Amino acid sequence: MAKTVMVVDDEERLVRLVSTYLEQEGFRVVSARNGREALFTARREKPDLIVLDVMMPEMDGLEFLRLHRKDRETPVIMLTARVEETDRVLGLEMGADDYVTKPFSPRELTARVRAVLRRSGQTAPEAEVLRAKDIVVDRSAHSVQVGDRIVDLTPSEFDLLATLMAAPGRVYSRLELLDRVQGTAFEGYERTIDVHVKNLRAKIEADPKQPKYVETVYGIGYRFAPEAG
């Protein structure tokens, strides 16, 4: 089931932009225009994470956070145009999990959302050993075996393979894979995943030009072949 992210900001254009990026990455998004509205929305929707602006009319983000923390421990990423260290520290001391200063890259924010959800334990537990036909990936031993041979992968190639094998048939965008492999994602570097995929195929595929495991989904990204899983 898709994770729900609540975006709270009085700038309608920013809410639309952030929502679009989050929805493209598979999140369900709800929104609120101020802290007072956000209290009602949070109680109704029970979001898995909140992206929260500080400066808003009626009730600002810090007051919302103080009241919301009485009910739930939802992970929160705060947005603000303020750059003073004291403001950042105040937000973190009140329970924010991360802090992003405007202006920011929506892609970077999306990567931070994923990172905070992982740190908060809201991702499904990962199997230690993954198997697909003649490929065996052991996460704990950080080893990969294809047939009767041990394959040496770089850390990025290993994380890429493990991510794809854990969800056969699921299509991952390059941005998602970059986040999983490198821990964060920045605009302009998504194509580095293509290089990792090329190198990975050369090591695990019988014919890298006609892969039977790591498939390209044109215009979107990559997936692990569902029949292989």
pLDDT digits (tens, 9 = 90+) for 159-193: 899 989 988 888 888 887 877 776 544 444 567 78
The reply to whether 124 falls in a domain is no
What is the CATH classification number for the domain harbouring 70?
3.40.50.2300
**Final residue of a structural domain among 56, 88, 119:** 119
Query: Is 147 in the same domain as 52?
Result: no
In angstroms, the CA 47 to CA 145 distance is 40
Does residue 51 have a pLDDT over 90? Answer: yes
Cα angle 116, 121, 126; round to 5: 115
Does residue 104 have a pLDDT over 90? Answer: no
Query: Is 96 in the same domain as 143?
Result: no
Query: What is the extent of the structural domain holding 184?
Result: 129-224
Assess contact for 81 and 102: CB atoms under 8 A.
yes
What is the CATH classification number for the domain harbouring 188?
1.10.10.10
The total number of structural domains that make up the chain: 2
The model carries a pTM of 0.56
**Final residue of a structural domain among 119, 152, 178:** 119
Q: Which two tokens stand for residue 25?
A: 């990455």
Query: Is 175 in the same domain as 196?
Result: yes
